[in-house]
Amino acid sequence: MQNSQLAHMEDQAPITSFGRYLRKIRITRKVTLRELANRAQLSPSYISSIESGSATPPPRETTERILDALDPEDAEREALFILGMTARGSTEFDERLPEEVRFLICELRGDGHKLPDRFVRALRVYVKEAVS
């Protein structure tokens, strides 16, 4: 399957995972898996496993390297961070995230639980709005 066909398919799919969204950004920018791996100083197999969902989203520092290699729009960058934090159940956050997202993350810091469903839904709504 060619990149243009993949890009069209990815545009149709809802953005529900870090890997799927990373792949969408990469294909939209016409960057091959190998090129991204070289730019981010990671292995192609690792990037592939992230995109396929067989590996969990990477820590923030690695995500930064990947994003720096792709140079996405600000909304895409924020959305990818949110998807990664949600998947990892992380409480880390980036000061560039909107205030309401930072608030949600801070509220959950002491809980030690995964994000409650209502927060996941709120984050998904925000992500969808941010990338549209």
97 or 46, greater pLDDT:
46
With beta carbons less than 8 A apart as the criterion, state whether 66 and 36 touch.
yes
**pLDDT tens digits, 38-63:** 999 999 999 999 999 888 888 888 99
Alpha carbon distance 47, 58 (integer Å) = 10
Which pLDDT belongs to residue 9? Answer: 46
Query: How many helices and strands, by DSSP H and E, does the chain display?
Result: 8, 0
Which pLDDT belongs to residue 10? Answer: 45
Which pLDDT belongs to residue 107? Answer: 61
